[in-house]
Amino acid sequence: MSKTHNFSAGPCILPQEVLKQASKSILNFDNNLSLIEISHRSKPFDYVMNKAKSLVKDLLDIPNGYSILFLQGGASLQFSMIPYNLMKINGSAVYLNTGTWASKAIKEAKKFGNVIIAADSSNSNFSTIPKNYNLPKEFDYFHCTSNNTIYGTQIKEFPSINGVMVCDMSSDIFSRKINIERFDVIYAGAQKNMGPAGTTLVIIKDEILGKTKREIPSMLNYNTHIEKDSMFNTPPVFSIYVSMLTLKWLKNLGGISTIEKENQNKADLLYNEIDNNSLFEGTATKEDRSNMNVCFKLVDKSKETDFNNMCEKAKISGLKGHRSVGGYRASIYNAMPIDSIKVLIDVMHKLENN
């Protein structure tokens, strides 16, 4: 079978062995029953849920006092759940506007109270991560996006926040070491670096909840899901199961420190080609470049058809940049093999030497 190199930004590449195991479990997970036709309260699924949680805890080194939830509604529902649960009535929150997803989070938060934009990089079409901004004295929480999937920028040094720190890590969770204790809420849609679409991982420090005096609908209340162990209603069993398999794969590989090194190598290799190839240029400021989503464009647009054709011939898929940036975006998440990156580099090379 000749392989397609999947550079899709999301839903994205998953390890082959995970896909194989997942397809087996669709047919026969337990006693000739499919994973997706057994009760979520059965013993075999209970094991999956607990295993998934313990792998998250283990891989990210999460101390006691945090809850690990698998919710639905995507990262996008978190844009509303965060202010619903954390913003006091007549309260305020501080946001960093670093891209499309951050802007969407801001739009929802504004429906709950006062949103203060600490910094905004829209002037540079979000090609940089703002630094050295001032924060107000009082606010209910600070919100940032660790990796801007569409623009290919990534926060390398998180700001020190004197207060509640919330981070959307949808597109770089499990890709690098993070110090959990600096965060109060981390959330991530599964489909970028953890599993198939359908579940959202939320890691939340228990002590920050229950302080807003808001009446919160049960499904949107983090405490509901904490009390019921992510089983208040039927959880997205398939997505949680495949996430569990992916996290197991990651652990067997050597965990976060191993994958972080691999991700750095993969990104260095590709950025090096972009910087040294006269036909291409990167679109993000160098120091803020993402190790997950590598955005670049052709200097000479007349080469576009040639490049696209060569990519197609090499079985490179999903390279088109987001419509708001144009150009190309190579998403090189954890499961992306270095060999696929070498195939892309080879095509870029050949185009230059044509």
Ligand X SMILES: *Cc1c(COP(=O)(O)O)cnc(C)c1O
101 contributes a contact to ligand X by CB under 6 A: yes
As measured in angstroms, the least distance from the Cβ of 105 to ligand X is: 8
Measured over the CA atoms of residue 154, residue 129, residue 180 and residue 244, the dihedral's sign is: negative
User: Is 192 a residue of the active site?
Assistant: yes
As measured in angstroms, the least distance from the Cβ of 351 to ligand X is: 29
Question: Which residues ranging from 68 to 97 are in contact with ligand X (CB under 6 A)?
Answer: 74-76
Report the residue number, 140 or 168, with the smaller CB distance to ligand X.
168
Q: Nearest 5°: phi and psi at 323?
A: -60, -25
108 contributes a contact to ligand X by CB under 6 A: no
Question: Which residues ranging from 243 to 302 are in contact with ligand X (CB under 6 A)?
Answer: none
334 contributes a contact to ligand X by CB under 6 A: no
Question: Which residues ranging from 134 to 153 are in contact with ligand X (CB under 6 A)?
Answer: 145, 149
The C-alpha atoms of residue 336 and residue 107 are separated, in whole angstroms, by 33
Cα angle for residues 20, 292, 14 (degrees, 5° grid): 5
Those residues with Cβ within 8 angstroms of residue 170's Cβ, 6 or more apart along the chain or in another chain: 75, 101, 147, 149, 187, 188, 189, 192
Query: Which position among 140, 184, 192, 249 bears the catalytic label?
Result: 192
How far from each other are the two terminal CA atoms of the chain, in whole angstroms?
Answer: 29
Question: Which part of the chain contacts ligand X (CB under 6 A), choosing from 30-38, 107-115, 164-172, 272-280?
Answer: 164-172
17: phi > 0 → left, psi -120 to 50 → alpha, else beta; which?
alpha
User: Is 101 a residue of the active site?
Assistant: yes
Report the residue number, 221 or 293, with the smaller CB distance to ligand X.
293
As measured in angstroms, the least distance from the Cβ of 5 to ligand X is: 21
Do residues 82 and 216 make contact, with C-beta atoms less than 8 angstroms apart? no
As measured in angstroms, the least distance from the Cβ of 210 to ligand X is: 25
Q: Which residues pair with 95 in a beta bridge?
A: 117, 143
Amino acid code (one letter) for 117: I
Query: Which position among 53, 140, 168, 297 bears the catalytic label?
Result: 168
The C-alpha atoms of residue 329 and residue 274 are separated, in whole angstroms, by 12
239 contributes a contact to ligand X by CB under 6 A: no
> Which residue from 25, 97, 171, 212 is in contact with ligand X, where contact means CB under 6 A?
171
Those residues with Cβ within 8 angstroms of residue 272's Cβ, 6 or more apart along the chain or in another chain: none
Q: Which residues pair with 289 in a beta bridge?
A: 153
192 contributes a contact to ligand X by CB under 6 A: yes
168 contributes a contact to ligand X by CB under 6 A: yes
Question: Which part of the chain contacts ligand X (CB under 6 A), choosing from 120-128, 163-171, 229-237, 329-337?
Answer: 163-171
170 contributes a contact to ligand X by CB under 6 A: yes
As measured in angstroms, the least distance from the Cβ of 315 to ligand X is: 25
Report the residue number, 102 or 348, with the smaller CB distance to ligand X.
102
Q: Nearest 5°: phi and psi at 181?
A: -65, -15
- Each residue of 248-269: b (16+ CB within 10 Å) or e? bbbeeeebbeebbebbeebbeb
As measured in angstroms, the least distance from the Cβ of 198 to ligand X is: 9
The C-alpha atoms of residue 14 and residue 227 are separated, in whole angstroms, by 31
Report the residue number, 203 or 279, with the smaller CB distance to ligand X.
203
What residues are labeled active site? 101, 168, 192
| Site residues for ligand X per CB under 6 A | 10, 74-76, 101, 145, 149, 168, 170-171, 189, 192
